[in-house]
Structure 1
Amino acid sequence: MQNQKPYTILVLMNATPAWLTLSRSQRSCFVETELQPIFRRVSQTVTVRLFDSEYFHASVSDFMIVTTTVLHDYQLLIELLRDTPVYGIPYFRIVDIIVGQEALFEDFNELLNVGVR
C-alpha cells in the first residue's frame, strides 16, 4: 500500500447575521488578525482554502476545504476556531463536515489483490 493519502475535509458553513452586519473592512480585519494566525499555526500539515457559495446554494453560504494527512492537526484547527467568534458569537453556523480520501478504493483493491479490471 502507498503512503498515507491526504484527507480532504469540507466544512460547510452558513454566515449568520452577526457576520453579515460587520462591514467588509471589519470582516477582512477579522480574517487577517484572527483566522490567518490559526491557519499559519497548522500550516506545516494542514492546508485551508476558503470559498464563497451564497450565489449557488440556499443553505451553505461558505465552505472551507481542508487538506491534511494528520487528523490531529485538523482537530487542532477546529479547536482553535472554536475559541474565536466564528463559533462563539457565532459568525458562522456549521452546516456539515464531510471527510474523504481521494480514490481510496484503489488502495483497498491493491490490499485485497483485486486489481482494476
Structure 2
Amino acid sequence: MTDIDTRKALINGLHDLADFFETNPDVPVPQYGITASYFPYRGPDEEITGEVDRIAALLGSSIDPESLPHGHYKTHISFGPVTYEAVAILAARRARHDAAASYYGCVTPYDTDAA
C-alpha cells in the first residue's frame, strides 16, 4: 500500500508534468508514452503475486501471460499512451539476476583501442 503523502506527491507531479507539456509545446514528449510501475516489496512468490492479483481486481484487468516466462507476474491498465502496471518479480528470476550480477566487476574486457 502507498502512504497518503507519497500518493498525493505522485498525483501532483503527474498534474504538473501534464501542465508543463501543455504550456511548453516545443518540448518533445516520449514517443511511446509513459509507464508508472509499482513493484511489491520482495517477499515469497505467493505474497507478491497475491498483491498483484489484488491490484488486478481493483483495475479490472488480468495477469499478462506473456510476462510469465520472463519471471514477471504483471497486470496493467492503460489510458491512451499512459500505463499503470503492477509487477512482481518472481523468486527464481530474482535469483538468476543476483547470480549474474555477482560477476559484476570481476571481468575486465581487453581494450583494443589502448593497444
TM, length-normalised to structure 1? 0.31
The structure with more radius of gyration: 2
- Which TM-score applies when normalising by structure 2? 0.32
The structure whose RCO (Cα within 8 Å, separation 6+) is larger is: 1
